[in-house]
């Protein structure tokens, strides 16, 4: 993963994963379901998350705390939040784990943070609002 980086352009509904040594796009995460334009992004290393062994998220395989697994949090222009699981060391595609409803927040999402246990998500908006989601509950829906 040391030779990869994640990037986005606010005018395109994609997150690009590029290999800077080869100057090539390795993967592209489409934000087209639902159509979303990114305004912020946060990577969460699943290996560093403190997820209980009996956690629902581990039982369902939503969070794998082995090396090379990442959660990619994306804040969107329309106030939505998307969470993807991205396995860096395989050719598997990113899997959408969570999508908030559009318009939940006023304005674009400008900041994202996830708790150390991986169970809570906070999102800040350009208007100063802070939204909270209990991911444990959201993943069980």
Q: Distance between terminal CA atoms of the chain? A: 32
How many structural domains are present in the chain? 1
Within a domain: residue 15? no
Sheet holding 81-87, edge to edge: 38-45, 69-76, 81-87, 95-99
Q: Is 125 within the bounds of a domain?
A: yes
Q: Are 88 and 127 in contact (CB under 8 A)?
A: no
Residue 59's pLDDT is 54
Establish if 28 belongs to a structural domain.
Answer: no
CA dihedral 135, 120, 11, 91 (to 10 degrees): -60
Query: Is 101 part of any domain?
Result: yes
Look-up of token digits 């352009």: 9
In a domain, 69, yes or no: yes
Is residue 102 a part of any domain in this protein?
A: yes
pTM of the model as a whole: 0.77
Which structural domain range is residue 102 located in?
38-139
135 within a domain of the structure (yes/no): yes
Share of the chain above pLDDT 90, in %: 11
What are the pLDDT digits (tens) for 16-72? 888 778 888 878 888 866 678 899 988 887 777 665 665 555 555 556 656 667 888
Q: Is residue 10 part of a domain?
A: no
């Amino acid at each position: 993963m040391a030779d990869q980086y994640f990037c986005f352009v606010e005018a395109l509904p994609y997150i690009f994963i590029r290999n800077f040594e080869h100057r090539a796009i390795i993967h592209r995460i489409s934000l087209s379901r639902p159509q979303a334009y990114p305004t912020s992004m946060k990577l969460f290393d699943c290996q560093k998350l403190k997820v209980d062994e009996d956690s629902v998220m581990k039982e369902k395989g939503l969070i794998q705390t082995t090396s090379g697994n990442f959660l990619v949090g994306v804040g969107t222009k329309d106030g939505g939040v998307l969470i993807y699981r991205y396995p860096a060391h395989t050719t598997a595609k990113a899997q959408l784990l969570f999508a908030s409803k559009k318009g939940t927040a006023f304005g674009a999402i400008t900041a994202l943070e996830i708790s150390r246990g991986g169970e809570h998500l906070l999102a800040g908006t350009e208007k100063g609002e802070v939204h909270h989601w209990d991911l444990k509950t959201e993943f069980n829906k």
